[in-house]
């Protein structure tokens, strides 16, 4: 599979642009329904969450399948999450608030769902900035990895942002939350197992001796 990567990467790159292309086309041809601007903002938000979850599923998928080449796609997917998040934020700032900064500021302070969304975006920005190879080298692998664990907080805040926004029907946010907890839970299980294995290492050395005596 790894040898197809040079082909797979550009293909995936284009595929990830399909949602925004469809929205652009729909906007131009007036097929986004009665309230196209709301539809646009919501869709961009949904795709931000989708890409966050897709990015977070790379590691579990890699560990379960053994397809290590998947790692080669993770950065692009993560950057697409940021790309859609940026568009989502822009549509709020422009089409929802028309750059009324006073109103935007009040919104951020007063409305928990905006507070959560804005925080998520602010946490995502440094991850996008430090996504280059040069930045990874400069930070060093360990520190880079610690920093990029922020993506867990970003995803949790993103789901919270969605859940606090809906009026009554929380079935969609619950679906997103469940998937996210599954993806994070996988990491916890892996971590717990590795802890156990480390703890088990000295025991294994001792047990045979005990058994012999």
> Which one of the spans 10-18, 76-84, 111-119, 146-154 is the region binding other proteins (CB under 8 A)?
111-119
CA separation, residue 113 to residues 13, 110, 144, 164, 165 (Å): 30, 9, 29, 5, 6
In the list 168, 203, 204, 205, the residue contacting other proteins (rule: CB under 8 A) is: 168
Span of 12-20, 50-58, 139-147, 165-173 interacting with other proteins by CB under 8 A: 165-173
Choice from 68, 106, 193, 196 touching other proteins (CB under 8 A): 106
Using CB under 8 A as the binding rule, whether residue 98 contacts other proteins is answered as yes
**Range 164-170 contact pairs with CB under 8 angstroms and sequence separation of 24 or more:** 164/112, 164/113, 164/116, 165/113
> Of 16-24, 30-38, 130-138, 190-198, which segment contacts other proteins by CB under 8 A?
30-38
Cβ nearer to other proteins, comparing 83 with 176? 176
DSSP 107-160: HHHH-HHHHHHHHHHHHHHHHHHTTSHHHHHHH-HHHHHHHHTHHHHHHHHHHH
Query: Which of 3, 167, 204, 205 forms a contact with other proteins (CB under 8 A)?
Result: 167
Is 178 a binding residue for other proteins by CB under 8 A? The answer is no
Output the six-digit token pair for 77.
Answer: 């997917």
What residues between 145 and 164 interact with other proteins by CB under 8 A? 164
Closest distance of CB 34 from other proteins, Å: 4
113 touching other proteins, by CB under 8 A: yes
Phi-psi region of 169 (alpha: psi -120 to 50; beta: other; left: phi over 0): beta
Q: If you ran DSSP here, which 8-state letter would residue 84 be given?
A: H
CA atoms within 13 A on the CB side of 206: 5
Determine, following the binding rule CB under 8 A, whether residue 165 of this chain makes contact with other proteins.
Answer: yes
Does position 174 bind other proteins by CB under 8 A?
no
Please report, for residues 71, 79, 90, 98, 198, the alpha-carbon distance to residue 95 in angstroms, rounded to integers and kept in the order given.
36, 23, 8, 6, 53
* Site stretch for other proteins (CB under 8 A), options 73-81, 104-112, 125-133, 146-154: 104-112
- Name which position in 16, 43, 49, 107 contacts other proteins (CB under 8 A): 107
72 near other proteins (CB under 8 A): no
Contact criterion met (CB below 8 Å) for 116 and 164: yes
Secondary structure class of 179 (helix, strand, coil): helix
The binding site for other proteins (CB under 8 A) comprises 33-35, 37-38, 96, 98, 103, 106-107, 110-113, 164-165, 167-169, 171
């Amino acid at each position: 599979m790894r040898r197809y990567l040079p082909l797979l990467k550009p293909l995936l790159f284009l595929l990830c642009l399909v949602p925004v292309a469809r929205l652009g086309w729909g906007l131009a041809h007036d097929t986004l329904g009665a309230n196209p601007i709301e539809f646009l903002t919501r869709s961009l938000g949904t795709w931000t969450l989708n890409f966050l979850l897709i990015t977070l599923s790379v590691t579990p998928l890699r560990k379960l399948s053994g397809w290590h080449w998947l790692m080669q796609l993770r950065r692009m997917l993560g950057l697409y999450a940021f790309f859609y998040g940026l568009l989502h934020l822009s549509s709020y700032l422009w089409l929802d608030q028309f750059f009324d900064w006073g109103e935007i500021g009040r919104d951020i302070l007063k409305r928990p769902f905006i507070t959560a969304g804005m925080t998520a975006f602010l946490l995502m920005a440094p991850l996008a900035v430090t996504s280059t190879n040069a930045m990874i080298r400069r930070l060093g692998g360990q520190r880079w990895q610690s920093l990029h664990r922020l993506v867990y907080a970003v995803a949790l805040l993103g789901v919270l942002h969605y859940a606090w926004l809906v009026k009554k029907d929380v079935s969609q946010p619950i679906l997103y939350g469940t998937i996210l907890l599954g993806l994070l839970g996988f990491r916890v299980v892996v971590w717990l197992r590795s802890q156990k294995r480390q703890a088990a290492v000295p025991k294994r050395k001792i047990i045979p001796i005990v058994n012999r005596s």
